[in-house]
């Protein structure tokens, strides 16, 4: 039998199948979104601790950025009755998460959407969870800082550089971080203190670290110490010649109101 340069039918079929497989995997790769972070699941003990650190409850609205199979919002909904949203760039993950929410009986509490997390409207969130990369956390940071004071951010694995977390724990060798969005108080405030001891307060702020000084109507400078902000709650001590007065109160946009050692006080942004 003369030697043939044509492949046998078996070989021909194998080559055709290989070509088909190559073509379909190339098409799949083309259709797959380019992810900023690969899909890796958060272990359940870590999920539990993230939700615990955020002190999540039925009145919260959780947004999970890059929600994978939806395990964090599903755990929150199943255990705490929390409503929420999960967004993932990969439509396969959205399908998986939607099916998992149905299987867990919490589909009425959750929405999963195929969406780039940088396009997500975060304004409704009272808690945001994420298991992303440090550079993604840093890109998100300025947007997170604009959210409602008191909104909690929980991150598995990665921090946010010089924005020191309020809590950091290690669970099964994994880092878990919590931050609370502080009210934005940098600038000048006209403070009406009890007994008409009014002053202008200048505040400097970096994330949730604040410092301040007070200037009286006769232009005396009075040191302010022990200044802190946690969500909308502000606290500081005015060190006058006749004593130390601690003020605590709430920030509501351009107003502050509260009670201090000497009675009720308020402040207005100048």
Ligand X SMILES: C[S@@+](CC[C@H](N)C(=O)[O-])C[C@H]1O[C@@H](n2cnc3c(N)ncnc32)[C@H](O)[C@@H]1O
Determine, following the binding rule CB under 6 A, whether residue 116 of this chain makes contact with ligand X.
yes
The least CB distance from residue 91 to ligand X, in Å, is 10
Of 11 and 40, the one with the shorter C-beta distance to ligand X is 40
Rounded to whole angstroms, the Cα distance separating 248 from 161 reads 29
- Angle at which helices 91-103 and 71-80 cross, to 10°: 20
List the interface residues with ligand X, window 77-96 (CB under 6 A).
Answer: 87-90, 93
Cα-only R_g, the chain: 27
Q: Which residue is nearest to ligand X (CB)?
A: 66
Torsion sign over Cα 163, 169, 170, 172: negative
Stretch of 34-42, 223-231, 233-241, 255-263 contacting ligand X, by CB under 6 A? 34-42
List the interface residues with ligand X, window 213-252 (CB under 6 A).
Answer: none
- Provide CB contacts within 8 A for 52, sequence distance 6+: none
Of 48 and 261, the one with the shorter C-beta distance to ligand X is 48
Determine, following the binding rule CB under 6 A, whether residue 42 of this chain makes contact with ligand X.
yes
Determine, following the binding rule CB under 6 A, whether residue 49 of this chain makes contact with ligand X.
no
Rounded to whole angstroms, the Cα distance separating 268 from 160 reads 31
Rounded to whole angstroms, the Cα distance separating 118 from 249 reads 34
Say which residue the tokens 């001891």 belong to: 197
Of 174 and 235, the one with the shorter C-beta distance to ligand X is 174
Of 177 and 189, the one with the shorter C-beta distance to ligand X is 177
Determine, following the binding rule CB under 6 A, whether residue 66 of this chain makes contact with ligand X.
yes
Size of the site for ligand X (CB under 6 A): 22
Instruction: Give the strands of the sheet with 167-171, arranged side by side.
Output: 110-114, 83-88, 61-65, 127-130, 152-156, 174-180, 167-171
Rounded to whole angstroms, the Cα distance separating 233 from 211 reads 14
Structure tokens at 163: 């924005």
Determine, following the binding rule CB under 6 A, whether residue 158 of this chain makes contact with ligand X.
no
Determine, following the binding rule CB under 6 A, whether residue 67 of this chain makes contact with ligand X.
yes
Determine, following the binding rule CB under 6 A, whether residue 125 of this chain makes contact with ligand X.
no
Structure tokens at 1: 């039998």
Of 68 and 212, the one with the shorter C-beta distance to ligand X is 68
Determine, following the binding rule CB under 6 A, whether residue 40 of this chain makes contact with ligand X.
yes
Binding region for ligand X (CB under 6 A): 35-37, 39-42, 64, 66-68, 71-72, 87-90, 93, 116-117, 131, 156
């Amino acid at each position: 039998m003369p030697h043939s340069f044509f492949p046998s039918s078996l070989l021909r079929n194998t080559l055709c199948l290989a070509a088909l497989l190559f073509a379909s995997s190339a098409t799949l790769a083309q259709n797959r979104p380019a992810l900023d972070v690969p899909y890796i699941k958060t272990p359940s003990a870590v999920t539990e601790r993230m939700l615990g650190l955020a002190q999540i409850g039925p009145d919260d609205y959780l947004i999970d950025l890059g929600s994978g199979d939806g395990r964090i919002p599903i755990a929150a909904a199943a255990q705490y009755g929390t409503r929420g949203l999960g967004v993932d760039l990969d439509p396969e993950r959205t399908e998986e998460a939607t099916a998992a929410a149905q299987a867990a009986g919490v589909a009425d509490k959750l929405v999963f959407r195929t969406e780039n997390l940088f396009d997500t409207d975060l304004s409704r969130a009272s808690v945001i969870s994420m298991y992303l990369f440090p550079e993604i956390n840093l890109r998100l940071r300025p947007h997170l800082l604009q959210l409602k004071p008191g909104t909690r951010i929980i991150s598995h694995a990665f921090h946010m550089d010089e924005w020191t977390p309020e809590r950091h724990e290690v669970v099964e060798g994994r880092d878990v971080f919590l931050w609370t969005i502080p009210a934005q108080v940098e600038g000048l405030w006209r403070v009406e203190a009890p007994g008409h001891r009014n002053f202008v307060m200048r505040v400097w702020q970096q994330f949730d670290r604040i410092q301040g000084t007070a200037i009286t109507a006769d232009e005396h400078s009075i040191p302010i110490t022990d200044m802190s902000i946690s969500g909308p709650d502000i606290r500081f001590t005015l060190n006058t010649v006749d004593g130390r007065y601690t003020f605590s109160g709430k920030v509501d946009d351009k107003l502050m109101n509260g009670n201090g050692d000497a009675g009720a006080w308020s402040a207005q942004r100048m």
